[in-house]
Structure 1
Amino acid sequence: MHQFPIRVYYEDTDLAGIVYYANYLKFIERGRSEWLRDLGIDQVVLKREGMVFVVRRVEADYLAPAHFDDHLSVESQLHEIGSARIAMRQSVIRAGKTLFSALVTLVCINDAGRPVRIPPALVAQLTQN
């Protein structure tokens, strides 16, 4: 499981002083990007090679609010991998309590926007512990 720390800034909150719901999607996007980086996967290089991962589906549950100046952790874990897609389980945690959880499905596409197989070497990187 990969962990990425986040601090809640004023800009992340709404009029009620809680994290605006759409910002959780930004938080988990950052968590996925850092997970890939920590696995040694350079998304810029992937793009040059003609492939990118795009979000196909998000199933999200908002369980409890986060507030200004909270210290959060985004936890990301590979759930499933197919020939052209991966599914990730991601959570936003504060002091051991899950505030937000999501199942995110990503598809690997080429420059034309068509799904492509994830190369075996990339699958090996994605599945390393």
Structure 2
Amino acid sequence: MALVSVASATSAGAEADPVAIRAVAAASAGRYLVAAMGFAAFLGAVGLSTLQSGSFPRWTGVVALVGAVAFLITFLTAVVGLGEDSVFGYGFLPGILALVVWSMATSIAEYRAVVASARGPAPREAEG
């Protein structure tokens, strides 16, 4: 949604008002910052839970915690303020990558567990 807002604000090309473009960009970035804090809380909780319980491979918990820290850095942009020297770009990409990797890895692990339980126990060979 933010990309559409920025694209429509800059559709005038070189004649676009720089003040309007900055206002639209600042208004659009807020949505990403709220999402970043939610992702940070989510990934932090599942990362700690995974490391405590061992329900998924340990490396997925570490990936989730790295993502939580990256999204927390992204959220701190709201405190500092949006600008050209903002850390927003530095935290969001690693956070999104960690979220995608964690989602894929845990989905595959859960799928494998369901398939293995559906097949039942492996048949034993007759002793004899």
TM class by shorter chain equals: under 0.3
The structure where strand makes up a greater share of residues is 1
The structure where helix makes up a greater share of residues is 2
User: Of the two, which has the highest radius of gyration?
Assistant: 2
The alignment's TM-score, normalised by the length of structure 2, stands at 0.24
The alignment's TM-score, normalised by the length of structure 1, stands at 0.24
Greater length-normalized contact order (CA 8 Å, ≥ 6 residues apart): 1
